[in-house]
Structure 1
Amino acid sequence: MASCRDMEDIVEDLSMRRARGWAVVNTHPHRERLALENLMRQQFHAYCPFMLERVRHARRTREVSRPLFPGYVFVELAADTRWGPICSTFGVRTLVRSGEQPSFLPGDFIEDLKIREIDGVIVAPSRSFEIGQTVRIAGGAFQDFVATIIDLDERDRVTVLMELLSRPVKVKLTSEQVAAC
Structure 2
Amino acid sequence: MAITTNQGYARLPQGDVGLLASEVAQRLLHSTALARLAYVAADGSPRVFPMLFHWTGDEVVFATFGGARKIRALRARPAVAVTIDTVGPPPEVLLIRGEAEVHEVDGVLPEYAAAQHRYYGEQAAAATIAEIDQPGLRMARIGLRPRWVGMIDFQTRFPGGTTADEFAQVGREGD
Superposed pair shares fold, TM > 0.5 = no
TM-score scaled by length of structure 1: 0.24
Q: 1 or 2, which has the higher strand percentage?
A: 1
Structure with the bigger RCO (C-alpha within 8 Å, sep 6+) is 2
Q: 1 or 2, which has the higher helix percentage?
A: 2
TM-score scaled by length of structure 2: 0.24
